[in-house]
Structure 1
Amino acid sequence: MAATNTSTAEQIVEHVGGAANIASLTHCATRLRFELVDAGKADQKALDKTPGVLGVVPQGGDRLQVVIGGAVQGVFTEIMNLPAMAGAKPAAAGGGQSDADVKAAARAKARGKNAWLDAFFEYLSNSFRPLLGVLLGASLVIAFAAILDAFGVVDFRAADKPAGWIFVDTIWRAVFYFLPLAVAYNASKALNIDPWVGFSVMAALMTPDFVKLANPELVTSTVCTPNPIPSAADICTADVFGIPMTINDYSGAVFVPLIMVAVLALVYKTAQRLIPSNLHLVFVPFLSMIIMVPVSAFLIGPLGLWIGTILGQGLSWLNTFAPFIFAILIPMVYPFLVPLGLHWPLNALMLANLDSLGYDFIQGPMGAWNFACFGATAAVLVISARERDLEMRQTSTGALVAGLLGGISEPSLYGIHLRFKRIYPRMLVGCFTGGAIIAVGSLLLRTDGVRANTFAFTSLLTIPIFSPTFLYVIAIAGAFFVAFFLILFGDYRTAEERDAFHAERDQAEADRALEATRVAEPALEGAGVGAGAAAAPAAAAVPSAVAAPVASASPTTEVVAPVAGHVVGLDDVPDKVFASRALGEGVGIQPIDGRVVAPVSGTMMTVAETGHAFGLKTDDGVEVLVHVGIDTVRLDGRGFTVAVAKDQRVTAGDLLAEIDLGVIKDAGYDPTTIVVVLNTLTLAKVAPRTNIDVAAGDAIIDTSV
């Protein structure tokens, strides 16, 4: 009764030795990954019998993996929310880190030759990667707005837009307006300091009270002077305790929080060393805030924006006196400006150009960078689709849509490019190509570059605003396809990253096969059993009148060979899940012909449409899986002729399928046929007979119910 009223999460924690025995807990696509204080305290048999658990795989040392399947995220969340885990959460959650955080920490331990450069990009990546979801969501809203604007439905640049469309703007503007706060939070986590302190310091520069300091009508000591940059806001200085403070709008200024948090980390960690540990909770945040808010307001904030302004003015000078260099330089430097937030001031410069000149000269070359960025993302999409990387395929699909339709590079940059160091060098070649085309074309046409007659995101929908249009199209196409093909043929991952992904993907697919097999009862769909099958939700077995044990049924004392060949133990089977016996005890058979027969008499519980896997259940409850070959699901049925159907009654020796061993071997797959007893733990005896040659129908496993 106790087990009935106890959740799967509670039982798992109990059987691994309790919350106090969990040193860390993360998860991948299908497995909970435990680092235990003492692996000897874990009850693996009890874990294996826990509802919702598909198997237990011990690792080296005190590491233990619990196979859950597609429901792993929900089980992980339940475990972390258990009252018993409250006191243990810092340890159990890896210090409050997500699985991505833990992996990032692991990557940080493996620095390359340029450790400082690796650390720099890791800092940027960790500061922005958690924001991918909201950035992508906001970008899609912008893409929608850009489409409507391109077709003339509504002018999103108009000052007198209807209230409804102004409200639509708030959906995406909220993300970019408060981006400095989110960046400060994530950057603080990346440097292992309290993220809420970093958040609060940055928030102080964005409060209504701080903004009010820029209004001379409300603050008598504030003085505002005209900005030398056309169309830019006035420069306002407030007298704060006798010290002049420049008041700026820091919305969207992500360079400021990146600098601020780097300085904050020094202050915070120094305070931790100087203050007794029992006073850390109050005085470390107090000293950090009381020091860093003034430093940020008086120095770091204005400095960050000043750097951006100086950069914009320098680019304007360069375009005037060296347009050829400018056309190449802009797409080459933009990949470094965007992650630092230095591209935001350039937007103001673009608007100033439109106001004073009637056109802008930055957006054209910038388009070369954007489309090189999108080309790199498109290559990642093709590779991830080819290699069945669901997470990266979803990320790159959304980023590519936001890019091509909305002209938004941030989802590509933060979600993909900053995570893989091989992308940038190849993408820069695409940037150079696009810029060089504009530079050479401008010389030949005797123009001063590609101009834009309005401010817009550089996307497919905004191509008509650029002039000369055909030169712009050739440039962005060149940038896109050069980056695309360089990454497509060179990959975006290192060999180590690629091998690690393949191992994790294959493991996840095997786990999903295990999940599908364990729930393969008549009330559930049984197709897709085997390595590489699609995930199915974990569920308890459902009784069936067809498959229920029959009281008068003769006991199953042996499982016979479904194919003729040489029998080996599961330790010699080249599949980690089968070899770990997570699915149960059994054997592998190296076949010498392609005739596959039933190993027991009973009911066909599962019949894979691809013909590579069959699940049977005897009348006395023995569950047997026959899996033909390793990874043969990828053949999609080629070389397999199935002779039975789900729910069909068979007798041992009846034909299940005919397979063409030549097709399997020619495709590079191992034809070893695995036979396992799925409910091994519930049977009195499961004894394999190995290292023998057998004909189809010879005994290979002795059983006792």
Structure 2
Amino acid sequence: MPAEKSTPAQIIESIGGPENIAQMTHCATRLRFELNDNSTIDQAKVEAIPGVMGAVPQAGNRYQVVIGGGVESVYNDILALPEMKGVGSEKSAEEIKAAARSGGPRGRFHWLDSFFEFLSDSFRPILGALLGASLFITFMALMASLGIIGNWADSRVTLPPTWAFLNLTWKGVFYFLPLMVAYNATKKLRADPWVGFSVMAVLMLPGFLAMKEGAETLSIAGSQVEVVRLFGGLPLTIFDYNSQVFPPLLMAAVLAPLYRGLKKIIPENVQLIFVPFLTMLVMIPVTAFIIGPIGVYAGAGLSGILKSVNDFSPFIFAILIPLLYPFMVPLGLHWPINAVMLLNIQTLGYDFIQGPMGAWNFACFGATAGVLLLSVRYKEIDMRQTAIGALAAGLFGGISEPSLYGIHLRFKRIYPSMLVGCAVGGLVQGIGGGVTTKAFVFTSLLTIPAFSNIPLYALSVGIAFIVAMALVVTRDFRTRDDRTENTRIREENEADLAAESLQKEQAAGGTDTAAQPAPVKAALQPGAVTEIAAPLDGRVVALEEVPDPVFSKGTVGAGVGIDPSGDTVTSPGDGKIIVAQSTGHAVGVRLDNGIEILIHVGIDTVNLAGKGFEVHIKRGDQVKAGDPLVSFDRAIIEEAGYSLITPVLITNQRKFADVKPLASGVVSAGQPLLAVTAKPAPEPAPAV
């Protein structure tokens, strides 16, 4: 007998299978599908799946399945299904990144796009190691700032043995950085990464640098270099390649086509031996004699250009870098600059780019903080979760990508606010004369002590953060259409979670336990018809006319709406309060007869955050028919532009055979409103 399919598998099957899914996302309570064709979906079949609270067809081929608070787990389980491999889900950071690139030069020139992807993939795998090393650097910088140790970044300073060992914790990463880059770059270009690693390793050996002792000093392009003559007079330039990244990048770019070409012409049964051997035979001398020096000079040239700008006007440089980075990062143009920072530290002993870059990073994080504050204010669960993660990665890790790709590139109103923060932060640094650092660090809260002028740097990044955050909060990050959509989703989430709360309360009541079977409630007696009183005065509105699809489709429950003429919601019967929103807009009552009712005052009134509402009860209270539950100020709700139509819903409708309106037109509180009919008694089993 085949095993029963899981809830995720049943959901996918019920909506037409993976081939019918164009796109799938989720919010705080719902799976949201863009289908190729939703005309054949059996609504009842979807809603009968265990764990599904309801389903909502929408305009076009959009379709929503209501899950409740556990939607993320169900979403992940769906993605993990074997049949879902390759099916479109929500836009990834890479897709957003690609969209950003399409508007710039990388979108028009394929070779440029490939070049920056090569740079990106050469560095991305080692970001974790660089981040870890940057925190060790921060610790050493802090100790030096406190006067506990000397200049940890100066090789001429002798540290006590314990501190010398601790200093190695970050040096190991940067000393062997060329080998890491060589491995990643060669792998990216589809050649054997260990061959690229081995070629670069020759230039990293202590013996290579030791050849300097017999070298002659020459002046090349204004620089003094050490050259040793090999093979009868060929000049080999001796450099210290530790921390260099341009030479391994150039080496991989030459090695990869050579390696792939050799694989095409060498018989397959001897490729394992001769392809690596011949590649190394060619690439080791080519890298040592030509590529290595070219890489060093190329990096020095780019560094020299930036240094010239900084030397000409540190003030201009401090403003220019933060304003350029918000556009460079989406295009991948920041990767070469990272390499220049490393080269500056290796050649100059300090870097002058990371300080202004910090102004950009903290403006970026400030904009994210503004988004977080607004998402908390307006109870936008999805955006709040995204912003919390992005802000933590930024402030403590110095990583801007989660903010940039997860939020900022999605909402065009954020960039102007963020750019103002960048400019102000850079301006503060420029006025103060700029800051430098003696080590490559990720610009986060934890790395502030790594900079030369700590008070100036802290002030500049703090101002950049605050300005960007304040502007995002003031201007908002959403357009009017965005706000309308977010309000709709938020109201859906609120209604779904309220219904889920009712279900959990019901399950926690213990009415189905075998040990102590409870008596059947009056409204659940087979065939019983129970009348439900109106909870407020007003005009009865058919459920399908309620101006919100969450309610009008019956997703939350069956019932009617009331356009109120009064200002007080009363209890429709004796029972217990199981939902009591602090904002006053929603109340749930479990009547003693077994019927559960949700009364939702107005549409989208959750946005008022309690303004205009007075709540008279709390969760767990026992109430009698006619007891006041909530009072509301009609003028405040109407002035805010929200509908007062109040859905009155039977949320455990599946326990009953039918729910019908009893009233139409004007109704008063306490008058019959709904008739709830219990299911008939099960037919007796036939005699055997």
When normalised by structure 1's length, the TM-score is 0.68
- Residue 475 of structure 2 corresponds to 490
Q: In 2, distance between residues paired with 1:252 and 1:455?
A: 15
Q: In 2, distance between residues paired with 1:408 and 1:418?
A: 16
Alignment of 1:174-253 (within 5 A): 199=188, 201=190, 204=193, 208-212=197-201, 214=203
- Residue 101 of structure 1 corresponds to 92
Q: Does 1:317 align with 2:302?
A: no
Q: In 2, distance between residues paired with 1:6 and 1:233?
A: 71
What displacement does 1:345 show? Answer: 2.1
Please list the CA deviations of residues 206-237 of structure 1 after superposition, one character each: whole Å capped at 9, or x if unmatched: 85344346468999xx999999899999999x
- Residue 379 of structure 1 corresponds to 370
Q: Does 1:347 align with 2:341?
A: yes
What displacement does 1:2 show? Answer: 8.8
- Residue 194 of structure 1 corresponds to none
Q: Does 1:519 align with 2:504?
A: yes
Q: In 2, distance between residues paired with 1:639 and 1:700?
A: 26
Cα distance change of structure 1 residues 654 and 113 upon mapping to structure 2, 3 Å threshold: same
- Residue 45 of structure 2 corresponds to 46
What displacement does 1:694 show? Answer: 0.5
**1:677 counterpart (650, 669, 672):** 650
Q: Which amino acid aligns with 1:346?
A: V
Q: Is the 8 A contact 1:521 1:542 kept in 2?
A: no
Q: In 1, distance between residues paired with 2:224 and 2:465?
A: 34
What displacement does 1:696 show? Answer: 0.9
- Residue 683 of structure 2 corresponds to none
What displacement does 1:347 show? Answer: 1.9
Cα distance change of structure 1 residues 117 and 54 upon mapping to structure 2, 3 Å threshold: farther
SS in 1 for 2:589: strand
- Residue 85 of structure 2 corresponds to 89
Q: Which amino acid aligns with 2:85?
A: K
Alignment of 1:580-591 (within 5 A): 580-591=553-564
SS in 2 for 1:519: helix
Q: In 1, distance between residues paired with 2:456 and 2:426?
A: 11
Q: Is the 8 A contact 2:534 2:669 kept in 1?
A: yes
Q: In 1, distance between residues paired with 2:624 and 2:313?
A: 85
SS in 2 for 1:34: strand
Q: In 1, distance between residues paired with 2:35 and 2:109?
A: 31
- Residue 570 of structure 1 corresponds to 543
**1:687 counterpart (649, 657, 660):** 660
Q: In 2, distance between residues paired with 1:660 and 1:387?
A: 21
Q: In 1, distance between residues paired with 2:429 and 2:489?
A: 44
What displacement does 1:362 show? Answer: 4.1
Please list the CA deviations of residues 359-389 of structure 1 after superposition, one character each: whole Å capped at 9, or x if unmatched: 6544544444444444434433433433434
**2:138 counterpart (122, 132, 146):** 146
Q: In 1, distance between residues paired with 2:505 and 2:389?
A: 34
Max radius of gyration: which structure?
Answer: 2
Q: In 2, distance between residues paired with 1:595 and 1:698?
A: 15
SS in 2 for 1:629: coil
**2:521 counterpart (545, 549, 568):** 549
Q: In 2, distance between residues paired with 1:178 and 1:517?
A: 59
Q: Does 1:427 align with 2:412?
A: no
Q: Is the 8 A contact 2:247 2:296 kept in 1?
A: no
What displacement does 1:300 show? Answer: 12
Q: Is the 8 A contact 1:553 1:619 kept in 2?
A: no
Identity percentage over the alignment? Answer: 38
What displacement does 1:678 show? Answer: 1.8
Cα distance change of structure 1 residues 624 and 351 upon mapping to structure 2, 3 Å threshold: same
Cα distance change of structure 1 residues 404 and 683 upon mapping to structure 2, 3 Å threshold: closer
Structure 2 residue runs of 5 or longer lacking an equivalent are: 156-160, 261-281, 679-688
Q: Which amino acid aligns with 1:347?
A: M
Q: In 1, distance between residues paired with 2:379 and 2:162?
A: 45
Please list the CA deviations of residues 558-582 of structure 1 after superposition, one character each: whole Å capped at 9, or x if unmatched: 3221101011122332333112211
Q: Does 1:9 align with 2:8?
A: yes
Q: Which amino acid aligns with 1:146?
A: T
SS in 2 for 1:686: strand
Q: In 2, distance between residues paired with 1:102 and 1:413?
A: 9
Q: In 2, distance between residues paired with 1:368 and 1:625?
A: 50
Deviates more, 1:66-75 or 1:328-337: 328-337
Q: Is the 8 A contact 1:553 1:620 kept in 2?
A: no
Deviates more, 1:544-553 or 1:588-597: 544-553
- The number of aligned residues is 623
Cα distance change of structure 1 residues 599 and 68 upon mapping to structure 2, 3 Å threshold: same
Q: In 1, distance between residues paired with 2:179 and 2:669?
A: 69
SS in 1 for 2:92: helix
Q: In 2, distance between residues paired with 1:556 and 1:134?
A: 69
When normalised by structure 2's length, the TM-score is 0.69
Cα distance change of structure 1 residues 594 and 32 upon mapping to structure 2, 3 Å threshold: same
**2:434 counterpart (441, 444, 450):** 450
What displacement does 1:65 show? Answer: 1.7
Q: Does 1:74 align with 2:73?
A: yes
